[in-house]
Structure 1
Amino acid sequence: MKVLEFWQDFSLMDSFFALDTVQQQIIISSAVAAGGMLAFIWHKRRQVKSIPLGEGWWGAGNKPLSVDDKIYPFKVQTSDEEIKDLHERIDRARYTNPLEDSGFQYGFNSTYLKKVVSYWRNEFDWKKQVAVLNKYPHFKTKIEGLDVHYIHVRPSHQKNQRILPLMLVHGWPGSFYEFYKIIPLLTENQDDLVFEVICPSLPGYGFSDAPQKQGFDSLAAARIFLTLMERLGFSQFYLQGGDWGSLITTNMAQMKPQCVKGLHLNMFTVRRGFKLLLTLMIGPYLPFLVGLGREDVQRLFPYLEKNVWEILKESGYFHIQATKPDTAGCGLNDSPVGLAAYILEKFSSWTNLKNRDLADGGLERMFSLDDLLTNVMIYWTTGSIVSSMRFYKENFKSNPDKRVDAKTEIFVPTGLAAFPGELMHCPKSWAELRYRNIYSYTFMPRGGHFAAFEEPQLLAGDLVQFVRKVEKF
């Protein structure tokens, strides 16, 4: 067969040389043009695609003619009146006894809730925790009509040490406080590279203003955070996120890929498609044919039981917040005990689904009550639970698969940390359908949804190794 192909090629060459010079030049020119067109098409397909930035104004009323773009220092504060009001509301709380041996299967077990609330009322020192929050420098700046809050931690520069800007973005029901344990690991290490960390509060969360108009979604948040980084003087930077932070940082990489040196995520999903369906059909039997390894198989199958069914059991909050957030939010914004139960139940099951079988939800196995209640207090003192819940409504008013960002692949260098306790496992072969330039994909040995809060050492280590790869290549 090879001999026949050779003589066919030889015969074609013979025919070519039999043509006159003009004919030969026409053929050569046509071939060059065709090759150039193919090269152009290949180059265009390889080009980094971006999505429009858009624009917005989320403050009350119309956009003024001039806008204040200055940056102002900010400090978290409290008062005796604020604490007194909290205690009075706690003292008036009503409880319903849990069902026998129900653990956390019906939600937050009220027997354990009484213990948490007793600690909150009698031992938790909010003034002390405010001092902890003010450990890092806080700032605010107005962007698109909203006062955007963030902390900005600069490292102490060592000789021969590169300083790389990094934005950390939280989700719901977390806050900037989730990152307090990982920040020193990123800003105080003695390696050859260190990070300058910017950690904002999502608009409508904590100390950032809530949007006053409808439509504030992840694209709007991404645009605001890009403006924040530009205002701080950063033309290139790294991003890290989980939960909503994962989507927002992904959107940032889609909007301005030239600014994002690397994108690191501890939660990532992809759109439904043929490859996913094929994986679910073949994966349990011939995983290597669809790009699955042993760890993928253990985390993914049986798919209905491990993923779909568990997501259904854990997503009741999602349907409420994506449809009628203000209704449920009324009670949470009025009752500190209700707010604590609603938020802390997520820190139980999203850390480890097995915690639902425990009477105390396993909360103190991973976290301290001081840390958990500090996060709750950020929501309570700012009255931001309703506006934080609205973010679901804004992002799911229409089919998210039809949004421009869902149809746009991500080409910036990407690092993915797959924690075993995350609600939905996404194999690398799936992630590659959306994130087209994966530098690292790590099966993390332990940890769940709140990676920075639960396992700061593991997350910091994976982030650093990813950045080293990007900086090297």
Structure 2
Amino acid sequence: MWLEILLASVLSFVIYWFVSRDKEETLPLEDGWWGPGVRPTAKEDESIRPFKVETSDEELNDLHQRLEKARFASPLEDCRFHYGFNINYLKKVVSYWRNEFDWRKQVQILNRYPHFKTKIEGLDIHFIHVKPPQPPSGCTPKPLLMVHGWPGSFFEFYKIIPFLTDPKNHGLSEDHVFEVICPSIPGYGFSEASSKKGFDSVATARIFYKLMLRLGFQEFYVQGGDWGSLVCTNMAQLVPRHVKGVHLNMAFVSRNVHLLFLPLTRHFPGFFGYTPRDMELISPLKEKIFYSIMRESGYMHIQSTKPDTVGCGLNDSPVGLAAYILEKFSTWTNQEFRDLEDGGLERKFSLDDLLTNIMLYWTTGSITSSQRYYKENMGQNIMTQKHQVMKVYVPTGYSAFPCELLHSPEKWVKVKFPKLISYSYMARGGHFAAFEEPELLARDIRKFVELRERQ
């Protein structure tokens, strides 16, 4: 025990030494060209064009033929989701997809909100822009950029948007009303993929910053989880004077020295600033951190090294694509769902919503380009990237959902985000927060903005 106390003291000094020497700095706001060929000499077309999601008989006929010809592996008895997607349940999903799922109806739902495209750094950037239906008098809507991750899409935000843009009709006060902008990360869905190597989260952040300026916003809020969390973090590091506040439901804290304390926390949780709730969410360490990370990170290694190889199969097989993606919506929503025959998928989502997200990858052929994002961000040593070692000095809010893959205690988050003004233990929910618990997340975003506006 005394050795552990001594080690803790030494580590505390190390933290003090390095943290106290930090200086506020920003990432360089550079420029890029990610379109095909060389950058043209003519000025880029900055117009914003309306866009509409469409489908065709040819598209649906091709999908149905592939679903009808699907070859399934032989299932194991009582395997549930322990080996990945349960084959028996996959057959049910594919049957529903082929015979009951109405893509044309879902296209109408997707077009419920206004879609647009605009060229930035050589890429056609897709986004939806939703304004309040009836802004309250005397209240200027606050611009809020919401960024998705993998294997999600802009569609993840469809259920949270009404709580933000039309709060009065959804049981919330009108103190804060937002106009919401949800872009597709380049290479995802309807946003054009980069033609060049090196397109990472910092380049994405710069493009989305230019998008917000093009829409007329000099100051705005940003929100995200998964890759969206990193993109929003990078935006705050690039242009802190323009980002009024950052709200996250996942934090990249890989350089956090508090991770070194994990073996000691069970003995001295209070000494390290961990609450009883933190200990519930990170204990037992061996199961919650080491086993879980090992079990859930295989896809990451593949996509960070050779995304095009696995992408060939997924882009050619809708059944393979669905199994690969939907398995994440099971175990990342709640790891205990792996013990269920159906992966618990319909406990939190509808098959229509899940398959709509799949169709955004299938119809655009974007699974391979979406997976390349891992190689661009993690193919090199992510620990040496400048934005990883930089802190964020923009007011920050954080929603800690209990079933997130790895819980980040407030102490961890505050090392990276010193101006953390709101940290909430959420009552329920996992990785896909906006998709799974839209009202809970909307309430926490509103709480954070209220605190930020009082400053």
Where does residue 36 of structure 1 map in the other structure? none
Distance 1:245 1:389 in 2: 15
1:365 is the counterpart of 2:347: yes
Match of 1:226, SS state, is: helix
Distance 2:161 2:339 in 1: 33
Shift of 1:304: 2.1
Where does residue 49 of structure 1 map in the other structure? 25
Where does residue 439 of structure 1 map in the other structure? 421
Q: Which moved more, 1:124-133 or 1:262-271?
A: 262-271
**What amino acid does structure 2 have at the position aligned with 1:159?**
S
Where does residue 240 of structure 2 map in the other structure? 257
Shift of 1:135: 0.1
- Alignment check: 8 A CA contact 1:241 1:265 kept: yes
Q: After TM superposition, list the pairs within 5 Å mapping 1:162-173 onto structure 2.
A: 162-173=140-151
1:64 to 40, 52, 58: 40
Distance 2:41 2:130 in 1: 33
Shift of 1:103: 0.1
Q: TM-score, normalised by structure 2?
A: 0.93
**What amino acid does structure 2 have at the position aligned with 1:174?**
G
Q: After TM superposition, list the pairs within 5 Å mapping 1:351-430 onto structure 2.
A: 351-430=333-412
1:344 is the counterpart of 2:320: no
Distance 2:96 2:318 in 1: 13
1:203–1:218 CA distance, 2 compared to 1 (3 A): same
Distance 1:419 1:232 in 2: 32
Match of 2:388, SS state, is: coil
Match of 2:389, SS state, is: coil
Where does residue 197 of structure 2 map in the other structure? 214
Distance 2:51 2:328 in 1: 29
Shift of 1:177: 0.2
Shift of 1:91: 0.7
2:113 to 115, 123, 136: 136
- Alignment check: 8 A CA contact 1:162 1:192 kept: no
1:84 is the counterpart of 2:66: no
Where does residue 152 of structure 2 map in the other structure? 174
**What amino acid does structure 1 have at the position aligned with 2:252?**
T
Q: Which moved more, 1:351-360 or 1:300-309?
A: 300-309
Match of 2:387, SS state, is: coil
Where does residue 29 of structure 1 map in the other structure? none
1:113 to 73, 84, 90: 90
How many matched pairs? Answer: 429
Where does residue 8 of structure 1 map in the other structure? none
1:411–1:371 CA distance, 2 compared to 1 (3 A): same
Q: TM-score, normalised by structure 1?
A: 0.89
Distance 2:439 2:268 in 1: 35
Structure 1 stretches (4+) deviating beyond 6 angstroms?
A: 44-47
Match of 1:78, SS state, is: coil
Distance 2:246 2:90 in 1: 38
Shift of 1:300: 1.1
Counting aligned pairs with the same residue, the percent is: 61
**What amino acid does structure 2 have at the position aligned with 1:75?**
K
Distance 1:186 1:205 in 2: 24
1:99–1:46 CA distance, 2 compared to 1 (3 A): closer
TM-superposition CA deviations, 1:363-382 (whole Å, max 9, x none)? 00110000000000000000
Where does residue 259 of structure 2 map in the other structure? 276
Where does residue 278 of structure 2 map in the other structure? 296
